[in-house]
């Protein structure tokens, strides 16, 4: 069992100040403050369903719009996740999840390959959920995948309610990551790759 799969990353720019702390082997406890209520709710779901202890403190230029706050939080969360995963040594590497939420069904399949990519097949029926622009959900997932070293395929198979579409996506990503980052005793602590490194 690898110990202390935790990381803390702090990033400060002229647009945002962000601190993220993650424990991959936590119990889903979260402390989230981004200044965007619905985004807080999504990150709480991410931590809870991923089984990650997660602290996110973001102060962004919300007087302009929410873009920098959401994208930069995705960047820092991805960096913290990747750092905590320690080169993806000893993990299962692949993960997949289907998440139903009332009329909506979303699927996420991913590979902790250190070859980041995002396939995004998600359509929203409304331009906003609460005060949050729905176009920002792709920006978050793109930033997380690129900085987390994950190849992520996220697709809403069907759904109408934009809240359900967004939330099922965060939950599907979290559950797939939970599976992929789980320690696999068959790896002997090595990276699960024929190359010997990810």
Q: How many domains does the chain have?
A: 1
pLDDT tens, position by position, 119-174: 999 999 999 999 999 999 999 999 999 999 999 999 999 999 999 999 999 999 99
Q: Is residue 192 part of a domain?
A: no
Q: Is residue 194 part of a domain?
A: no
Q: Print burial letters for 155-187: b (CB count within 10 Å at least 16), e (below 16).
A: ebeebebbbbbbbbbbbbbbbbbbbbbeeeeeb
What's the pLDDT at 189?
A: 87
Q: If residue 96 lies in a helix (H) or strand (E), which one and from where to where? A: strand 94-101
56 vs 29: CA distance, rounded Å: 11
| Spatial CB neighbours of 163, under 8 Å, sequence gap ≥ 6 | 129
Q: Is residue 80 part of a domain?
A: yes
61 vs 30: CA distance, rounded Å: 23
Domain region containing 24: 6-187
Q: Is residue 100 part of a domain?
A: yes
CATH for 183: 3.30.230.40
Instruction: Give pTM, 2 decimals.
Output: 0.96
pLDDT tens, position by position, 75-103: 999 999 999 999 999 999 999 999 999 99
Retrieve residue 86's tokens.
């320690």
Q: Is residue 174 part of a domain?
A: yes
């Amino acid at each position: 069992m690898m110990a202390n799969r935790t990381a803390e990353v702090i990033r400060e720019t002229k647009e945002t100040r962000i601190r993220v702390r993650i424990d991959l082997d936590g119990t889903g406890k979260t402390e989230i403050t981004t200044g965007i209520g619905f985004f807080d709710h999504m990150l709480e779901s991410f931590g809870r369903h991923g089984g990650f202890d997660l602290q996110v403190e973001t102060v962004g230029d919300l007087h302009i719009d929410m873009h920098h706050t959401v994208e930069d939080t995705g960047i820092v969360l991805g960096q913290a996740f990747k750092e905590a995963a320690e080169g993806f040594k000893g993990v299962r590497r692949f993960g997949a999840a289907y998440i139903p939420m009332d009329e909506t069904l979303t699927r996420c399949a991913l590979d902790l390959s250190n070859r980041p990519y995002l396939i995004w097949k998600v359509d929203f029926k409304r331009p906003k959920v609460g005060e949050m622009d729905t176009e920002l959900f792709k920006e978050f997932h793109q930033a997380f995948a690129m900085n987390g070293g994950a190849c992520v395929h996220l697709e809403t198979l069907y759904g109408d309610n934009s809240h359900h579409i967004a939330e099922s996506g965060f939950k599907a990503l979290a559950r797939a990551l939970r599976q992929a980052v789980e320690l696999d005793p068959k790896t002997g602590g090595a990276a699960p790759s024929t190359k010997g490194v990810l």
